[in-house]
Amino acid sequence: MAREFPQSSEIWHGDNLELLAELPDESFTVIYIDPPFNTGRSQARHVTTAVRSEPGVSGSVGFKGKSYQRIRGELRTYDDTFDDYWTFLEPRLLEAWRLLGPEGTLYVHLDYREAHYAKVMLDAIFGRDSFLNELIWAYDYGAKATRRWPTKHDTILVYVKDPAQYHFDSTAVDREPYMAPGLVTPQKAARGKLPTDVWWHTIVSPTGKEKTGYPTQKPLGILRRIIQASSREGDWILDFFAGSGTTGAAARELGRNFVLIDQNPQAIEVMRRRFGMDPDADSADTVVPPLEDTPATRAAAKPKTPKAPAKPRAKAATAKAPAVKAVKTSAKTSVKAPAKAPTATKKRAARAKVTAQEPPLETEASVVAEQIVAEQVVVEAPETQVAPRPRPVPGPGLRRAVPLPESALAD
């Protein structure tokens, strides 16, 4: 039996496969899922808080030398182990296909262990023509392996419901800075460039404001980019492995509606706190309050441009002698300020003026050189007479008679 479709954004607690079956067909424009990566272990993270402590009490030293104590809170866990991963995932991907509208797009976030198997399954469900992109989210944080290339990326497979109707708007996406801004015009550098299929984006900072303490939390910037490109304001977004609720947070900022589903009670608690809901309220209270209409929320809904690159610092000017102001003495005399040194431009002008007015002076060396040139005598070489080339003497084999010169006959 189909559940009545929600009128506004909601958080649902329960088995996602059972809850998905209650939703009507073609209800969502974007479905993003970040299923367990099947690493063979349970993900866990302790929630810690920093509390000011009295002087002399052991603890970490923070800003301005103030002492803090780290208090370890509850342990938040997430089951990442499945005996048969694909038997678990396949029926949920079939539900995703059913729930996508004709303009809809599915984003499946996986790690390198399962991404290739997932693509084979998604090709079978959606068809190979519906494959749109393989996105690579690259980051550089955490420990690095020494006996292989460190794995510092996740894979996001992108499939569309209908290759002829899907929605995609690259102009609505947050832009990123050029890697070589000096090779483009200042206008292009200020605007930034459109992302490619490789997204360099940091993970959620362990000490940043975005952190919720949930083990598998994803950065808000990744989800903003997905929702901006593949949906319009007012569209519906679905995430049925919601975790910390980053999909809902991005959709809420951008003016989209959403449904978040998770079976983990700790995930539901984290999401309730994140959206300003009472975490201890009745589980039937699933409606997420909308954001207040303020200049800050309106600005967050617009595409972001990269920060302007810092201008290069000007070279340090040479130290100038301090100007001496006129100081009156008792004898009514004053000390005048020294005249300013002429600038380079004035020096060049004065040098050109002197050159034009005065002819160059002849040095002693130049006069001697002129005398030597004047006294030089040109010795002409005698003409040489070239002897005429002797004519060949006819040999016995020549039949043609060659007349001899008269001088030879006279002898």
Q: What is the pLDDT of residues 118-173, one digit of tens each?
A: 899 999 999 999 999 999 989 877 677 788 898 888 999 999 999 999 999 999 99
246, burial (CB in 10 Å: exposed 0-12, middle 13-18, buried 19+): buried
Q: What is the pLDDT of residue 84?
A: 75
Q: What is the pLDDT of residues 292-304, one digit of tens each?
A: 888 888 888 888 7
Residue 403 lies in a domain: no
We report the CATH number of the domain holding residue 37 as: 3.40.50.150
Annotate 301-325 with DSSP letters as a single string: TSPP-PPPPPPPPPPPPPPPPPP--
Q: What is the pLDDT of residues 308-323, one digit of tens each?
A: 555 556 555 555 555 5
The answer to whether the CB of 156 falls within 8 A of the CB of 109 is yes
Strands ordered across the beta sheet of 28-33: 10-13, 257-262, 236-239, 28-33, 100-110, 153-160, 131-138, 198-200
Q: What is the pLDDT of residues 266-285, one digit of tens each?
A: 999 999 999 998 877 666 67
- HSE (side-chain half, CA atoms, 13 Å) at 236: 18
Residue 277 lies in a domain: yes
Q: What is the pLDDT of residues 325-366, one digit of tens each?
A: 554 544 444 445 555 555 556 666 666 555 555 555 455 555
The number of distinct structural domains making up the chain is 1
Q: What is the dihedral angle through the alpha carbons of 240, 124, 118, 210, rounded to the nearest 10 degrees?
A: -30
Query: Residue range 20-25: average pLDDT?
Result: 95
Is 22 a residue whose pLDDT tops 60?
Answer: yes
Label residue 197 by pLDDT band (50, 70, 90): very high
Residue 37 lies in a domain: yes
Is 69 a residue whose pLDDT tops 70?
Answer: no
Q: What is the pLDDT of residue 47?
A: 47
Average pLDDT along the chain: 76
Q: What is the pLDDT of residue 26?
A: 96
Residue 218 lies in a domain: yes
Residue 69 lies in a domain: no
Residue 15 lies in a domain: yes
Range of the domain at 274: 10-48+74-300
Q: What is the pLDDT of residues 229-278, one digit of tens each?
A: 999 999 999 999 999 999 999 999 999 999 999 999 999 999 999 999 88
Residue 337 lies in a domain: no
Residue 41 lies in a domain: yes
